[in-house]
Amino acid sequence: MTIEREILITEVALRDGSHAIAHQYTIEQVTQVAKALGEAGVPNIEVSHGDGLGGSSLQYGLSHTDEMKLIEAAVSVSGESKIAVLVLPGIGTVKEMREAAGLGVSMARIGTHVTEADVSAQHLELGLETVGFLMMSHMVPTRKLVEQAKLMESYGADTLYV
């Protein structure tokens, strides 16, 4: 039996890739990359500080450019591609998510430690397409992982991954 599945890519270089350059992306760089990814038909392009919305800080590294300006630039050139953000509750807030949504972000990945799905509830209930991200899943037994995944699902996660 063969099961065919659609493969959807979320390109994260404009978020995770910022770690490699000390969070120093410029509007010009984001515009160039997001435009090329949009033209290539990449379905989802993640843009924010490397540690997600609200990550620009002394603790995580100061961004060269305000992430909302980077998000706005990506939205303006990405064509049919969705612009996504990463949110780690406690670093990124609902306020920042609303601001990003107002700029055209349509997807949010909400990442929590695998035992702390409960902190994602308010972040999953904002009407964006949401991906619940249970990090460090290797740290718990399967039963606990399933319990936490069901919590994220009950809060409104459209997709879950570990």
Decide if 19 is catalytic: yes
d(C-alpha 15, C-alpha 158), whole Å: 21
Pairing of strands 82-87, 129-135: unpaired
In the numeric block, which tokens belong to residue 40? 């290539």
Pairing of strands 44-46, 10-11: parallel
CA dihedral angle for residue 28, residue 29, residue 33, residue 35, rounded to 10 degrees:
0
Residues recognised as catalytic:
19
